[in-house]
Each structure stands twice: as C-alpha cells, then as structure tokens.
Amino acid sequence: MENSQTVMLEARGLACSRDDRLLFSGLSFELAAGQALLLEGANGCGKTSLLRILCGFREPDAGDIFWTGERLEEGAYHRDMAYVGHADGTKKELTVLENLRFALAMKADGAYRIDDALAKVQLAGFDDNPVHTLSAGQKRRLSLARLLITANRLWILDEPFTSLDRQGIRLIESLIAEHVAGGGLAVLTSHHDLRLPDIELKTIHLQACH
Ligand SMILES: Nc1ncnc2c1ncn2[C@@H]1O[C@H](COP(=O)(O)OP(=O)(O)OP(=O)(O)O)[C@@H](O)[C@H]1O
C-alpha cells in the first residue's frame, strides 16, 4: 500500500452544465489513499453528474481528472475503479451467484471470496435466487457484494444507503470504513448522516449555481 498521503485521484477546475444551466465550475479536489470524499448538496445540484464525470461516463465541460497522476484513460483507471449507482448494475435474469461470477470474470479478485461476501452482506443462502426475485435492499446488498469480491481501489457510490434498513446502513458504513482504512478510496453521495468516525473524510458541498 502507498503512503497514506499519496494523492491518487485529483480533479482540477471541473465544470458541468446541463441544459444551459451551470451546475458547478472551478471544482478541484485531491484524494489520497486512505481518504473518503462525501459530496453533499440539495436535490438537483449536480452530485450524480459529478460522480458520472469522475467515472469517465461523461466529459466535464471544463477541467481535468487525474488518477495516479495520469489523465483518466480506459485501462488503468477502470481496472481500479468500481461504481455503484442508482441502477444496481446486475443482470436480473441471472442468479445471485451467476452475477457475482460474471463480475469476477471481468476483474481481478478482491478482498473477499464469493461465499464470504454473501455472508457479509447477509445474502447467504440466496446464491441460486434469480436477481429479479430479490427485494430492493437485497439487490443493493448484492451490488455491494460485487465491490467486495473484485479488486477496486476506488469506490464511487451514488446514494449507497438507498433501500437499506438501519442494520444495512451500518454494514455499508463499516465496509466503506474497512476499505478506506486498508488504503482504498471512496467518493460518495448521501442524504443520510454518515457515521465514519475512524477515517479521514473530506466533504464538498455543491451549491446550486443557477
Ligand atoms: N440526462 C440528463 N439530461 C438533462 N439534464 C439532466 C440529466 N441528468 C440530470 N440532469 C439535470 O442536471 C441537474 C443535476 O442532476 P443530478 O442528478 O446530477 O443532481 P443530484 O445532485 O445528484 O440530485 P439528487 O440529490 O436529487 O440525486 C438536474 O437539474 C437534472 O435535471
């Protein structure tokens, strides 16, 4: 693991407009190994738009993003990064186990084996259930299990607590804390008060600019 202050992710002067409305501009930050970044702000202020830019799904209107000092480019960044967004990203007709095996086929092994990850997110015994039969919270737990079984240095999480019960929220907080304490990085949005007491948490509050 790198030194805890090694900057891994850097954004310089990012701007984003939607339908001629400026959402943010001049947005810069640095995130080091062992740090998490929370994006806060009112509905519609641009949090998801920023996350999608950080994922490389959308070009910023201005500015640059660097991962380990290099501009975002397909290979290294996308190997190191995992995104959990509003859509859970699973294949509904496949079972829980098939989805996890599919995810593993695309990425290097992570910190958890499939069985251990399923136990951790409390989906043990659901291996053979088609995903479309899972509840909303269980689907979210499955998408989080994918983070655990594959190697991803940077977690980008859009409202990761959506649909989770109180115990599920505590679980995800502990998984984020474990990931970051182990030298990982996380960028997330949340309308829920986070409890991540033992990790270095930076915060950006997006103001509506329009
Ligand atoms: N595909 C799109 N096409 C046009 N406008 C969009 C699109 N997606 C989002 N927007 C607009 O961009 C603005 C920011 O949306 P975004 O989803 O980034 O906000 P947010 O801060 O994540 O909001 P929330 O807290 O409600 O999830 C909103 O005004 C929204 O209407």
Helix (H, G, I), strand (E, B) or coil at 178: helix
Which value does ipTM take for this structure? 0.94
Ligand 1 neighbour 17 (Cβ under 6 A): no
Q: In this predicted model, what pLDDT tens digit does every residue of 173-207 receive, in sequence order?
A: 999 999 999 999 999 998 888 888 888 999 999 98
Q: Is the CB of 45 under 6 A from ligand 1?
A: yes
CA of 45 to the centre of ligand 1 (A): 7
Q: What is the pLDDT of residue 2?
A: 47
Distance (Å) from CA 16 to ligand 1 centroid: 11
Query: Which residue's CA lies nearest to atom 10 of ligand 1?
Result: 18
pLDDT at 193: 82
Nearest CA to ligand 1 atom 6: 18
- Considering the four listed CATH numbers 3.40.30.10, 3.40.50.410, 3.40.50.300, 1.20.120.1200, the one that applies to the domain covering 5-203 is 3.40.50.300
Across 68-113, the runs of DSSP E, i.e. the strands, are: 70-71, 81-84
Render pLDDT for 105-164 as a digit per residue (tens, 0 to 9). 889 999 999 999 999 999 999 999 999 999 999 999 999 999 999 999 999 999 998 888
The confidence band for 208, taking pLDDT boundaries of 50, 70 and 90, is low
From the list 186, 135, 137, 182, the residue with the least C-alpha distance to 158 is 186
What are the extents of the domains in the chain?
Answer: 5-203
